[in-house]
Amino acid sequence: ITLNSIGSVYYYQEKYLEANNAYKQALELSKRIDDKSLVAYSLKSIGIISWIEGNTFLDHGDTINAIKRYDDAFGKIDTAIKIFQGLKNNTGLMETYPFLGNVYEKLGHISKQKGNTALGHKQLSLALKYNHDFLEMAAEVNDENYIGEAANNLGRIYYGVQHFKEA
Q: 74-104, pLDDT tens digit by residue?
A: 999 999 999 999 999 999 999 999 999 999 9
DSSP class of residue 69?
A: H
Burial of 56 from C-beta contacts in 10 A (0-12 / 13-18 / 19+):
middle
> What pTM did the predictor assign?
0.91
- Exposure letters 19-54 (e unless 16+ CB within 10 A, then b): bbbbbbbbbebbeeeeeeebbbbbbbbbbbbbbbbb
Q: What is the CA radius of gyration of the chain?
A: 16
> What confidence category does residue 1 fall into, taking pLDDT thresholds of 50, 70 and 90?
low
Q: In the prediction, which pLDDT does 90 show?
A: 95
Residue 146 has pLDDT above 70, yes or no: yes
Q: In the prediction, which pLDDT does 135 show?
A: 97
Number of Cβ atoms within 10 Å of the Cβ of 159: 12
Residue 63 has pLDDT above 70, yes or no: yes
> What confidence category does residue 56 fall into, taking pLDDT thresholds of 50, 70 and 90?
very high
